């Protein structure tokens, strides 16, 4: 199952340069990397990235991230994927720009 992480441009650039990341400041603060499923990603973008440009949507295969990936209740009691370790660049399945339109962020059609 694909799961998704939204990166701001500087976070994405650092991930690409370093080859690994422990996530955004909120991830570091919470002690895990926040992900969303395809059905959760739009709400995540609206809630945590409203009005932001220069975002990158990155897909990972949740089935290959190992035992450190936990499904835990979050927003509204829904289970969200949380990773309790750093990500490496070779774990990326694909990445795409997440442009902002007047209607909100424009997610890839084949994802949602």
In a domain, 111, yes or no: no
According to DSSP H, which parts of 5-107 are helical? 9-18, 25-30, 38-48
Give per-residue pLDDT as tens, 85-105. Answer: 999 999 999 999 999 999 999
Dig out the tokens for 65 from the structure: 């991230």
In a domain, 112, yes or no: no
**Which range of residues forms the domain containing residue 64?**
2-103
In a domain, 108, yes or no: no
Give per-residue pLDDT as tens, 16-68. Answer: 999 999 999 999 999 999 999 999 999 999 999 999 999 999 999 999 999 99
Largest CA distance in the chain: 39
Domain containing 58 — which CATH number?
3.20.170.20
In a domain, 29, yes or no: yes
What are the C-alpha distances in Å from 1 to residues 41, 45, 61, 66? 14, 20, 6, 13
Q: Is the pTM of this model over 0.85?
A: yes
In a domain, 109, yes or no: no
In a domain, 57, yes or no: yes
In a domain, 88, yes or no: yes
Q: What is the DSSP letter of 75?
A: G
d(CA 19, CA 111): 25
* Number of separate domains in the chain: 1
């Amino acid at each position: 199952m694909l799961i998704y992480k939204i990166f701001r441009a500087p976070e994405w650039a650092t991930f690409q340069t370093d080859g690994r990341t422990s996530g955004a400041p909120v991830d570091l603060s919470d002690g895990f990397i926040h992900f969303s499923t395809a059905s959760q990603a739009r709400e995540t973008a609206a809630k945590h990235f409203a009005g932001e440009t220069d975002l990158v949507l990155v897909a990972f295969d949740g089935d290959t991230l190992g035992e450190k990936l936990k499904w835990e209740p979050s927003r509204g009691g829904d289970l969200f994927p949380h990773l309790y370790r750093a990500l490496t660049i070779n774990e990326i399945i694909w990445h795409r720009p997440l442009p902002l339109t007047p209607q909100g962020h424009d997610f890839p059609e084949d994802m949602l």
